[in-house]
Structure 1
């Protein structure tokens, strides 16, 4: 297991380096460039050239990249020019990252809590009314764009019915103690139950919108995996031996069906970051996704550079954890 882990860690480092080079080169190739973004529309050719020389943008791309890499390794990603002008990009990320993690975790909890049980039940009742309805619902979940569903939920449950808040992480003016940056957790730690409940209600609509695609994917993979396992000889043998249904489900069906589901969950966790950009923008949720959306609008290259790179690193890291868990579930993987 240790050798397998070391090999995957080496692969992770290589992937992150390649991603950093791609992100750096892509941002430098965008129209206008960092100098134009800083100076705005009134900047002259002379001022752009002077600023480019000052920032080292006139140097070869690989020289710029290695300088960027050196600063990045020390945690220096520069200052924001559009999202929060003048603030260090690292500080902006640390302020907003807990919001995105809280939202993504709640969304994934909804997707897993609904997707796996419903997928299992649909497989057990294959061809029935419940199976057909749930499969149709999962198709709708994949087909409907996240931003459209977000606006729909916001219009119905916030604007029309007034049941849930339409924006933000907590109500303005609420006196809440900040401990970790995770508002729901802070409310529990400080026993400020009104603050925890308020933060939780602000999570419901964006989390439901964000959870639709992961739920649909997890449901369909779970259903397909359980159907495959139900047809295996060892399941029929266990049933013929008279084993309890709970034992067969736990030891023979769910354990073997979870292998592809675990992989799918890992991939969907990484994909949540992409969906968070649209969801956070719709609900004015002050997380990493909203900062990325604002950064694209205002051409905030330092923010885009760091946030995209960190998002890619998280995606790669999640996949590493999935691979390790996969190896723990199925020992055959370690030998490959």
Structure 2
């Protein structure tokens, strides 16, 4: 146990060290002149060479790289984060972080409590009744919870902010608006604040239990040798990435000035020192979260070894029922041992699989033949027309959006764009996952743990951070004027391999687990087929989210961008954001449902032959 504790601490320090090194390397490669920006923020717009060199040395840019690195680390841990150069010129970054972070904490506390408590409970129930009706029902609820809130529901509401316009923030004491309102005697602000936070918290509270339920079910499904510290860290990293992008989306959707909005502003406005600081805070929170999760996992294994946790899991089941289920499972043919023909026949008989395939085939057909549903070509939907935000008409059955764009035409080409992006990303992830998965599986448990330990570093920074790093390296206007290929723009081609690489751990785990379970190649093929729809849904959801946040160009047809543009005129033209929101929901939910249908192979098992 003590060795595991020491290993967990060493792992946390290693992740933190590598993450800081990545941030430092990133700062070296960033474009622009941080010294000139710093001087301009302080009011010196045309500095002399003497003043410029003096400030350059004062900020540490004159020192050798190794000295500069250690000074960089020291500044990060001592809070010497310099000043903002564009978001709030000459204001200390530390003060901005201290003001914004409490809003994100307020947004996250209740959904986290609900998500962990409800998600773990539903995950245990789903795992205990694997393949039965209650398991299918819970999985469908999780698919709805993941795909429904952010676009189809939340996009129906206009940004509300966190206080009514007639109110101002209470004097800053703790950073929490609730506590500061109490301390300043302005309790009336609390009611207004809580009223504004109802919808953001509710939408987040729908997503969190669904995410935790899926991860809990997956965790309980694994054999004990697969649930190591490295695998738990990888799972925690994935969850952290989803939660981070969710917080950012909700803050942008509702106009909340929290840490997520500050993160977006830092990249959009190219605030050099703010970018460094937000990256460090994200890394630090990730390390703390993974350290806590690993410590809880060690405690969990101790309870398992002593038999305590088993009694908790089986509390509602008497011993005779459990022994009967165990005996039945030992005498039946398992999923991997069945033939591919049996697997395919069983799937065709599944209502979930049948419905999901109809939906998926529809989106595939739209992607291949978009002009069956719209008379407009890709070039025509990109051409500005008269009638911005016009209601539905015979020429435009679903209405018009910004710049007079036909909603139906942009919808069809947007579906094609999302599907093309998702398939390309999954292909990259599958190739990489096949390589690492075969290595991890062939070298038994030791190889598995080494490879899965290596996979941890794919999660050091959330996917949204990694996608935006090219923007920091090349500058905010580097992609303007670059050509598009088909319907994919330059930033899309940069984000495509990044998201694809981040899917490698998912496929690696799938393939390695199948090999360790001693299944044949057909069994491995089934496992890969089951994981492809899940990863497609992840890729499409992330792609739409990044488009919604405004990091793609206007010369592309991206559903997330159309949702964001449509919300500008939500009250007068609700159709402009509703239809692309529905399309994103439809694709994500369809692939999640297909994943459930493919996993749902609990056949009426026949006894194994002697």
Report the TM-score when normalising by structure 2. Answer: 0.41
Q: In structure 2, which of residues 195, 199, 202 is the aligned counterpart of residue 205 of structure 1?
A: 199
Partner of 2:420: none
> Cα distance 1:266–1:61, how it changes in 2: closer, same or farther (>3 A)?
closer
Find the residue that maps to 1:326 and give its secondary structure. helix
Offset of 1:310 from its aligned partner?
A: 1.6
Partner of 1:316: 287
Find the residue that maps to 1:172 and give its secondary structure. coil
**Separation (CA, whole Å) in 1 of partners of 2:219 and 2:14:** 32
Offset of 1:93 from its aligned partner?
A: 1.4
Q: In structure 2, which of residues 85, 102, 125 is the aligned counterpart of residue 81 of structure 1?
A: 85
Offset of 1:319 from its aligned partner?
A: 0.9
Q: In 1, are the aligned partners of 2:114 and 2:208 still within 8 Å (CA)?
A: no
**Separation (CA, whole Å) in 2 of partners of 1:125 and 1:331:** 25
2:143 is aligned with 1:172: no
Q: In 2, are the aligned partners of 1:75 and 1:90 still within 8 Å (CA)?
A: yes
The number of residue pairs the alignment matches comes to 294
Q: In 1, are the aligned partners of 2:36 and 2:52 still within 8 Å (CA)?
A: no
Q: In 1, are the aligned partners of 2:266 and 2:272 still within 8 Å (CA)?
A: yes
**Separation (CA, whole Å) in 2 of partners of 1:328 and 1:89:** 38
Offset of 1:141 from its aligned partner?
A: 4.1
Structure 1 gap segments, 5+ residues each? 160-165, 230-259
Q: In 2, are the aligned partners of 1:98 and 1:287 still within 8 Å (CA)?
A: yes
Partner of 2:278: 307
Partner of 2:213: 219
**Separation (CA, whole Å) in 2 of partners of 1:68 and 1:226:** 42
Q: In 1, are the aligned partners of 2:76 and 2:280 still within 8 Å (CA)?
A: no
Find the residue that maps to 1:299 and give its secondary structure. coil
Offset of 1:308 from its aligned partner?
A: 0.9
Partner of 1:71: 75
> Cα distance 1:10–1:141, how it changes in 2: closer, same or farther (>3 A)?
same
Find the residue that maps to 2:165 and give its secondary structure. coil
**Separation (CA, whole Å) in 1 of partners of 2:88 and 2:267:** 13
Find the residue that maps to 2:162 and give its secondary structure. coil
**Separation (CA, whole Å) in 1 of partners of 2:26 and 2:251:** 24
Offset of 1:151 from its aligned partner?
A: 5.2
> Cα distance 1:326–1:118, how it changes in 2: closer, same or farther (>3 A)?
closer
Q: Which moved further from structure 2: 196-205 or 78-87?
A: 196-205
Structure number with greater CO (CA < 8 Å, separation at least 6) is 1
Find the residue that maps to 1:69 and give its secondary structure. helix
Superposed, which structure 2 residues align to 1:33-44 within 5 Å?
33-35=33-35, 37-38=37-38
Q: In 1, are the aligned partners of 2:162 and 2:193 still within 8 Å (CA)?
A: yes
2:13 is aligned with 1:16: no
Partner of 1:135: 139
Structure 2 gap segments, 5+ residues each? 224-230, 306-610
Offset of 1:6 from its aligned partner?
A: 4.6
Q: In 2, are the aligned partners of 1:78 and 1:89 still within 8 Å (CA)?
A: yes
Offset of 1:142 from its aligned partner?
A: 4.0
Q: In 1, are the aligned partners of 2:86 and 2:270 still within 8 Å (CA)?
A: yes
Q: In 2, are the aligned partners of 1:79 and 1:86 still within 8 Å (CA)?
A: yes
Q: Which moved further from structure 2: 55-64 or 101-110?
A: 55-64
Q: In structure 2, which of residues 91, 96, 100 is the aligned counterpart of residue 92 of structure 1?
A: 96
> Cα distance 1:327–1:128, how it changes in 2: closer, same or farther (>3 A)?
closer
Offset of 1:76 from its aligned partner?
A: 1.0
**Separation (CA, whole Å) in 1 of partners of 2:171 and 2:122:** 38
Q: In 2, are the aligned partners of 1:266 and 1:322 still within 8 Å (CA)?
A: no
**Separation (CA, whole Å) in 1 of partners of 2:71 and 2:233:** 39
**Separation (CA, whole Å) in 1 of partners of 2:80 and 2:207:** 35
Offset of 1:3 from its aligned partner?
A: 6.0
Partner of 2:29: 29
Q: In 2, are the aligned partners of 1:103 and 1:203 still within 8 Å (CA)?
A: yes
> Cα distance 1:189–1:127, how it changes in 2: closer, same or farther (>3 A)?
farther
Partner of 1:248: none
Q: Which moved further from structure 2: 215-224 or 281-290?
A: 215-224
**Separation (CA, whole Å) in 1 of partners of 2:14 and 2:124:** 38
Which whole-Å deviations, capped at 9, do the CAs of 1:2-22 have from their partners, x for residues lacking one? Answer: 665454334433332221121
Which whole-Å deviations, capped at 9, do the CAs of 1:282-317 have from their partners, x for residues lacking one? Answer: 322122111111110111111111121121011111
Report the TM-score when normalising by structure 1. Answer: 0.69
**Separation (CA, whole Å) in 2 of partners of 1:189 and 1:2:** 44
**Separation (CA, whole Å) in 2 of partners of 1:25 and 1:293:** 21
**Separation (CA, whole Å) in 2 of partners of 1:36 and 1:70:** 23
**Separation (CA, whole Å) in 2 of partners of 1:129 and 1:299:** 51
Greater Cα radius of gyration, structure 1 or 2: 2
Q: In 1, are the aligned partners of 2:115 and 2:208 still within 8 Å (CA)?
A: yes
**Separation (CA, whole Å) in 1 of partners of 2:185 and 2:134:** 42
Which whole-Å deviations, capped at 9, do the CAs of 1:248-270 have from their partners, x for residues lacking one? Answer: xxxxxxxxxxxx99995686356
Q: In structure 1, which of residues 81, 103, 125 is the aligned counterpart of residue 107 of structure 2?
A: 103
Q: In 2, are the aligned partners of 1:263 and 1:323 still within 8 Å (CA)?
A: no
Q: In 2, are the aligned partners of 1:179 and 1:186 still within 8 Å (CA)?
A: yes
